[in-house]
A and B are shown apart, each in its own frame.
Chain A
Amino acid sequence: MSTLIDLFAEFALLSFVAFGGATALLPELYRVVVDNRQWMDATTFAHLYAIAQAAPGPNVLVVTLIGWQVAGLAGALTATVAMCLPMSVVVYLLFSRWERFKGARWQRAVQLGVAPLAVGLIFSGAALVGQSAGLGVAGWGFVLAVAAFSTKTKFHPLWCIAAGALLGLAGVV
């Protein structure tokens, strides 16, 4: 029970700084669940991210999987609710007032200011996932190839994921 309370408290707190969504939150999720709480090792964290990538649905599902790993079904539901509920309540209450502060200088300033920070977070998350997956030289080469391919072309990301699964299975990356 105390683990569930810890899970809820950690993730509910994080939901308030999840600018850029769950993807931008990856490095902090890692810091909390692997470094601080030691709920899982780095490899498992990378595996859970991989599973979330290969499944349909919103990005927040990686949080569901982390919750599962920590405390089973109850953990999965607790983590998901903790991540979604606080801001859902805020957005519900704030919506009728949005028209009033939308376009105000402070509102635009925060929005403009947050974007470059989110970019830094996603770069950090990308490096962290690669690192904790324990990639070798070929693995990092594949990471760069996927990054370049996905920036330059408009193929569905699932092709990259399928390629990763096959190359991994074949022992290449």
Chain B
Amino acid sequence: MLQEQTKAPPAISLAALFFGFSKIGLSGFGGVLPFARHYLVDTSRWMTAEEFNAQLGLCQFLPGPNVVNLAVVVGRRYGGLAGALVAPLGLLAGPVAIVLLLAMLYDRFGALPEAQRMLRGIAAAGAGLLFAMAVRMALAVRNKRAFLPFTVLVFVAIGLLRWSLPAVMLAGIAASGGVAWWLLREGERR
């Protein structure tokens, strides 16, 4: 029975990968990761929840658009290099087409006062949603006293002083990651 779980992944055609990831890409607004989990684990049953978490781990560890990275990893697993190309293409093709259509409308009608007012309202809603996301993420940070000062420092450096992100992130990872490393070591000693 145990060997059942480690068997080779089921065969999935490239077309199925493409359309599966198209569905994921078109199903969410402002991020599609929860839909990816739902589709891959519950709907299509291409992977178990544990497999999904294991593959997502690397994608969230690395920089870049997480869900695109996830498509590469899952595509590779089921279709090799071709799968790794087809899955992210499926993920992005539909949404990119829609957004380009909207871009054309914006070029045409964006200067109208009605469009300007509507987009300002949506941008305000988007800013609010971003604040909410930041608050949720801040609440999820463990050991807030050690790590939230880094949040404040990043906000000052990037939001207020407008410093360059690559330099701030490298320094930030060295400092914040250093603190995390030290805390982990202390935790292991106890």
Contacts and interface: CB of A to CB of B under 8 A. Distances in A.
Contacts of B121: 142, 163-169, 172-173
B15 interface: no
A135 B25 CA distance: 31
Interface string A100-121: 0010011111111111111111
A54 B122 contact: yes
Interface in B74-111: 76, 81, 84, 88, 91-92, 94-96, 98-100, 102-103, 106, 110
Sort chain B's interface into a size bin: 35 or more
A128 B168 CA distance: 17
B106 to A, nearest CB: 6
B125 A57 contact: no
B147 interface: yes
A7 to B, nearest CB: 15
B117 A171 contact: yes
Contacts of B153: 120
25 contacts: A21-B31, A23-B133, A31-B162, A46-B120, A47-B120, A51-B106, A51-B119, A53-B30, A53-B125, A54-B122, A56-B26, A57-B96, A59-B30, A64-B100, A76-B103, A87-B62, A117-B151, A119-B154, A126-B127, A143-B124, A147-B132, A164-B121, A168-B120, A169-B121, A173-B124
Closest 4 pairs (CB-CB, A-B) = A168-B121, A57-B95, A146-B128, A120-B154
Interface of B: 25-32, 55, 57-69, 72-73, 76, 81, 84, 88, 91-92, 94-96, 98-100, 102-103, 106, 110, 114, 116-138, 140-142, 147-148, 150-155, 158-159, 162, 164-166, 169-170, 172-173, 175-181, 183-185, 188
